[in-house]
């Protein structure tokens, strides 16, 4: 019986080590697919760019990108150049996550503003409804507000071309009636 007690910690260590090893082998971006097909949550916020009220319903009408960012986020700063390039090709909106408005406006003034509007989310409530894991995150929505694709982490040109661009092209050629499930 005493010998069995000696092997219990070893057995537990082996089980926990195996679970850790299996977990490390998983693709951390696979979770992004879990929210596909969901609708953009109804939300009203302040537009950080001009202080006017803005709601998520006003974003609909054409396919668009929603980028979750913060001025304190190093990866958000790293992807900013790509976002500025994309601004002329797709409607791009920002969701400023758990940030101070003054810091966000100062960052956009310094680095350049790629966004049509920036929804303020200082408490992270809209981000929670979206299922945000952290910053940065980028979402592609259809014209009706249905989530087509999501990327957690820094957006690069390669990710844009491989993951988002084909879906954006398809969403632009799909009539809104078909996107909404009407014949």
Q: Where are the domains of the chain?
A: 33-179
What integer is the mean pLDDT of 167-177?
78
Task: Name the pLDDT band for 9 (thresholds 50, 70, 90).
Answer: confident
Strands of 92-97's sheet, edge to edge?
A: 118-121, 92-97, 64-69, 137-141, 147-152
Does 145 score more than 90 pLDDT? yes
What integer is the mean pLDDT of 22-26?
61
Q: Give which of 96, 91, 88, 114 is closest to 43, Cα–Cα.
A: 96
What integer is the mean pLDDT of 22-28?
57
Residue 5 is predicted with a pLDDT of 75
Residue 6 is predicted with a pLDDT of 72
Phi-psi region of 178 (alpha: psi -120 to 50; beta: other; left: phi over 0): alpha
Residue 182 is predicted with a pLDDT of 40
Task: Name the pLDDT band for 177 (thresholds 50, 70, 90).
Answer: very low
What integer is the mean pLDDT of 141-154?
95
Count of CB atoms situated within 10 Å of the CB of 86: 22
Q: Give which of 42, 38, 48, 40 is closest to 121, Cα–Cα.
A: 48
Does 2 score more than 60 pLDDT? yes
Tell me the angle at which helices 74-86 and 101-111 cross, rounded to the nearest 10 degrees: 50
Does 108 score more than 60 pLDDT? yes
* Second-level CATH architecture of 33-179: 3-Layer(aba) Sandwich (3.40)
**Residue pLDDT, tens place only, 33-91:** 667 888 999 999 999 999 999 999 999 999 999 999 999 999 999 999 999 999 999 99
Residue 25 is predicted with a pLDDT of 58
Does 10 score more than 60 pLDDT? yes
What integer is the mean pLDDT of 92-103?
97
Does 180 score more than 90 pLDDT? no
Q: Residue 134: which residues within 8 A CB-CB, separation 6 or more?
A: 152
């Amino acid at each position: 019986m005493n010998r069995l007690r000696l092997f219990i910690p070893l057995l537990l260590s082996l089980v926990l080590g195996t679970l850790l090893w299996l977990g490390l082998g998983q693709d951390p971006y696979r979770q992004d697919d879990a929210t596909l097909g969901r609708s953009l949550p109804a939300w009203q916020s302040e537009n950080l760019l001009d202080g006017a009220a803005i709601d998520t319903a006003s974003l609909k009408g054409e396919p668009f990108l929603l980028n979750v960012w913060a001025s304190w986020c190093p990866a958000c700063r790293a992807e900013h150049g790509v976002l500025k390039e994309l601004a002329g090709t797709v409607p791009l909106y920002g969701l400023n996550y758990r940030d101070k408005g003054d810091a966000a406006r100062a960052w956009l003034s310094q680095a350049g503003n790629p966004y049509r509007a920036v929804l303020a989310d200082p408490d992270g409530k809209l981000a929670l409804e979206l299922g945000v894991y952290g910053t940065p995150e980028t979402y592609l929505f259809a014209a009706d507000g249905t989530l087509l694709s999501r990327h957690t982490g820094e957006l690069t040109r390669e990710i844009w071309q491989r993951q988002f661009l084909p879906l954006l092209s398809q969403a632009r050629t799909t009539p809104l009636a078909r996107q909404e499930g009407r014949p």
